[in-house]
Chains A and B, each alone.
Chain A
Amino acid sequence: MHGTLPYTTEIRPDTGLTNPKLGIWLFLASEVMLFGSLFSSYALLRSAAAAWPDQSAVLSVPLATLNTIILITSSATMVLSLVGIRAQRFDRFRLHMGLTLALGAAFLVVKVFEYADKFAHGLVPATDNFLGLYFTMTGVHALHVLIGMVVNAYLLWPGARMWRTEPQRFTNRVEVAGIYWHFVDVVWIFLFPVLYLL
């Protein structure tokens, strides 16, 4: 049934796109508006605040820098997994997708550690608006990381069966999953300076 839908795998000539390629960019457009609304809220609450904590004193810049490096590296491994599958090197795809997954997990582990550390010091979302925004924005972001990991794990294991039956369609799936994963990285690229350094 789904195989008979045109342009699921082949490119439609006049638009130059496949359906999933257009679909993921449209979805990301809505995500830009979601995170954009959160960043706008941050900007307002901070600029109109009578006082605002010294962010880098409250949060751990070293841990966040580590997480930034982790996520950027995971973006690199993600794009390399696409290079691998496009070169029809399933082993290279598997290696780099596995690394991407591991790095994503590492990111979340660091975040759990960060959160636990804050809670241990009595720093919770309700403490002030800065911490409220910190937990909310990184929380929503972490949820997106988790969803990305689920998708990547699917492509690495059960979904990988498609490589043998419909290789082009599988390759396109890797590309689309990559576009989502890079977006999650881009959000963090902004979250890092905004929440930790500014």
Chain B
Amino acid sequence: MHVRGYLGIFGALLVLTVITVAVSSLQLAVGPTVALGLTIAAAKATLVVLFFMHLKGEKPMVMWPLALTVFLFAALFAFILWTEGDHIVGPSVGA
């Protein structure tokens, strides 16, 4: 990619940063706040990963392990929340 391309990505990242701070100042409910915040972060991360780290057009031998990693992270995150997230553990709660 040419310098101009990278500077374009850089600009987009700055804009997204401003947006994410602005959105947070709106004091939305928890659900939308989390969803928006993480979506914008994911968009920024995607730009960095695809273009700065050159993952776009990277070889399968790199892509497959990364895909596995993303899946495993999602599994760990999801199962921890699913198993434990709906209750409080400890002696102060119930019998």
Contacts and interface: CB of A to CB of B under 8 A. Distances in A.
- Within 8 Å by CB, do A and B touch in the complex? yes
B41 to A, nearest CB: 5
Interface string A109-128: 00000000000000000000
B53 A182 contact: yes
A83 B6 contact: yes
Interface residues of B, number: 46
B41 A190 contact: yes
Given A72-B13, A182-B49, A192-B20, 13 more contacts: A22-B61, A44-B81, A61-B21, A61-B24, A65-B21, A68-B17, A72-B17, A76-B52, A183-B53, A190-B41, A190-B45, A192-B41, A197-B21
Interface of A: 15-17, 21-22, 25-26, 29, 32-33, 36-37, 39-41, 43-44, 47-50, 56, 61, 65, 68-69, 72-73, 75-76, 78-80, 83, 175, 178-179, 182-183, 185-186, 189-190, 192-194, 197-198
Interface of B: 2-3, 6-7, 9-10, 13-14, 17, 20-21, 24, 33-34, 37-38, 40-41, 44-45, 48-49, 52-54, 58-59, 61-62, 65-66, 68-70, 72-73, 76-77, 80-81, 84-89
